[in-house]
Amino acid sequence: MRYRAVLVAFFLVPTVGGVSNLLEALRAPTEVVCPGENVGENGEERPGPMRPGDTRCAVLDGSYSVASRTYAQQRLTQSLERRRAARDGALLLTFGAAGTLVSWRATRTPSPDRD
Protein backbone atom coordinates (compact mmCIF):
# COMPACT_ATOMS: atom_id res chain seq x y z
CA MET A 1 0.00 0.00 0.00
CA ARG A 2 2.90 2.33 0.68
CA TYR A 3 4.28 2.00 -2.84
CA ARG A 4 0.86 2.96 -4.18
CA ALA A 5 1.12 6.45 -2.68
CA VAL A 6 4.65 6.88 -4.04
CA LEU A 7 3.60 5.73 -7.50
CA VAL A 8 0.57 8.00 -7.59
CA ALA A 9 2.65 10.94 -6.29
CA PHE A 10 5.21 10.23 -9.02
CA PHE A 11 2.53 10.92 -11.64
CA LEU A 12 0.93 13.83 -9.81
CA VAL A 13 4.10 15.91 -10.16
CA PRO A 14 3.86 16.19 -13.99
CA THR A 15 0.12 16.81 -13.63
CA VAL A 16 0.78 19.86 -11.46
CA GLY A 17 3.48 21.03 -13.89
CA GLY A 18 1.07 20.63 -16.80
CA VAL A 19 -1.61 22.67 -15.07
CA SER A 20 0.98 25.34 -14.32
CA ASN A 21 2.10 25.51 -17.96
CA LEU A 22 -1.48 25.68 -19.20
CA LEU A 23 -2.32 28.50 -16.81
CA GLU A 24 0.83 30.35 -17.86
CA ALA A 25 -0.18 30.07 -21.52
CA LEU A 26 -3.76 31.14 -20.87
CA ARG A 27 -2.82 34.12 -18.68
CA ALA A 28 -0.01 35.39 -20.92
CA PRO A 29 -0.56 39.02 -21.92
CA THR A 30 -1.37 39.72 -25.56
CA GLU A 31 0.63 42.95 -25.68
CA VAL A 32 4.04 42.69 -27.31
CA VAL A 33 6.74 43.17 -24.68
CA CYS A 34 10.39 43.62 -25.54
CA PRO A 35 12.67 41.65 -23.18
CA GLY A 36 15.44 44.23 -23.57
CA GLU A 37 15.81 47.71 -25.02
CA ASN A 38 12.84 48.96 -27.03
CA VAL A 39 13.63 51.49 -29.79
CA GLY A 40 10.72 53.53 -31.10
CA GLU A 41 10.07 54.96 -34.56
CA ASN A 42 12.15 58.03 -33.82
CA GLY A 43 15.22 55.98 -32.83
CA GLU A 44 14.87 56.76 -29.13
CA GLU A 45 14.70 54.10 -26.43
CA ARG A 46 11.40 54.07 -24.64
CA PRO A 47 9.86 52.00 -21.84
CA GLY A 48 6.71 49.96 -22.01
CA PRO A 49 5.31 47.47 -24.47
CA MET A 50 6.21 47.61 -28.14
CA ARG A 51 3.89 49.31 -30.59
CA PRO A 52 3.44 48.75 -34.31
CA GLY A 53 6.16 50.73 -36.05
CA ASP A 54 8.82 50.23 -33.38
CA THR A 55 12.03 49.60 -35.27
CA ARG A 56 14.03 47.42 -32.95
CA CYS A 57 13.88 45.31 -29.84
CA ALA A 58 17.32 44.44 -28.52
CA VAL A 59 17.13 41.09 -26.74
CA LEU A 60 19.58 41.14 -23.85
CA ASP A 61 21.42 38.36 -22.06
CA GLY A 62 22.53 40.14 -18.93
CA SER A 63 23.97 43.36 -20.32
CA TYR A 64 24.93 41.93 -23.73
CA SER A 65 22.73 42.21 -26.77
CA VAL A 66 22.26 38.76 -28.30
CA ALA A 67 19.56 39.46 -30.90
CA SER A 68 17.48 42.16 -32.47
CA ARG A 69 13.82 41.82 -33.47
CA THR A 70 11.22 43.97 -35.15
CA TYR A 71 7.70 44.37 -33.78
CA ALA A 72 6.33 41.59 -36.02
CA GLN A 73 9.15 39.22 -35.11
CA GLN A 74 8.68 39.83 -31.38
CA ARG A 75 4.90 39.34 -31.68
CA LEU A 76 5.49 36.02 -33.50
CA THR A 77 8.07 34.92 -30.90
CA GLN A 78 5.66 35.58 -28.03
CA SER A 79 2.85 33.78 -29.84
CA LEU A 80 5.08 30.74 -30.37
CA GLU A 81 6.10 30.77 -26.70
CA ARG A 82 2.44 30.80 -25.63
CA ARG A 83 1.59 27.93 -27.98
CA ARG A 84 4.61 25.93 -26.81
CA ALA A 85 3.64 26.42 -23.17
CA ALA A 86 0.05 25.31 -23.92
CA ARG A 87 1.23 22.23 -25.85
CA ASP A 88 3.73 21.23 -23.17
CA GLY A 89 1.14 21.77 -20.46
CA ALA A 90 -1.45 19.65 -22.24
CA LEU A 91 1.06 16.83 -22.79
CA LEU A 92 2.24 16.88 -19.17
CA LEU A 93 -1.32 17.02 -17.88
CA THR A 94 -2.36 14.09 -20.08
CA PHE A 95 0.69 12.03 -19.12
CA GLY A 96 0.27 12.73 -15.42
CA ALA A 97 -3.47 12.12 -15.35
CA ALA A 98 -3.20 8.88 -17.34
CA GLY A 99 -0.30 7.65 -15.22
CA THR A 100 -2.11 8.48 -12.00
CA LEU A 101 -5.25 6.69 -13.14
CA VAL A 102 -3.38 3.59 -14.35
CA SER A 103 -1.22 3.35 -11.22
CA TRP A 104 -4.26 3.87 -8.96
CA ARG A 105 -6.25 1.16 -10.73
CA ALA A 106 -3.32 -1.28 -10.94
CA THR A 107 -2.40 -1.06 -7.27
CA ARG A 108 -5.81 -1.13 -5.64
CA THR A 109 -6.62 -4.12 -3.50
CA PRO A 110 -9.35 -6.35 -4.83
CA SER A 111 -12.53 -6.35 -2.79
CA PRO A 112 -13.74 -9.74 -1.60
CA ASP A 113 -16.78 -11.07 -3.41
CA ARG A 114 -19.92 -10.90 -1.36
CA ASP A 115 -22.43 -13.56 -2.27
Domain of residue 75, residue span: 2-107
- What's the total number of domains in the chain? 1
Q: Does 68 map to a domain?
A: yes
Name the burial class of residue 90, with classes exposed (0-12), middle (13-18) and buried (19+) by CB atoms within 10 angstroms of its CB: middle
| Percentages (nearest 5) of helix, strand, coil residues in the chain | 55, 15, 30
pLDDT per position as a tens digit, 6-28: 888 889 999 999 999 999 999 98
DSSP string, 84-99: HHHHHHHHHHHHHHHH
Residues 32, 71 contacting (CB under 8 angstroms): yes
Q: What is the model's pLDDT at position 1?
A: 60
Q: Does 115 map to a domain?
A: no
Q: Does 114 map to a domain?
A: no
> Please, which pLDDT band fits residue 65 given cuts at 50, 70 and 90?
confident
Q: What is the model's pLDDT at position 56?
A: 86
Q: What is the rounded CA–CA span in Å between residue 76 and residue 13? A: 31
- Give the count of beta carbons closer than 10 Å to the beta carbon of residue 82: 17
Q: Does 26 map to a domain?
A: yes
pLDDT per position as a tens digit, 39-57: 888 888 888 888 888 888 8
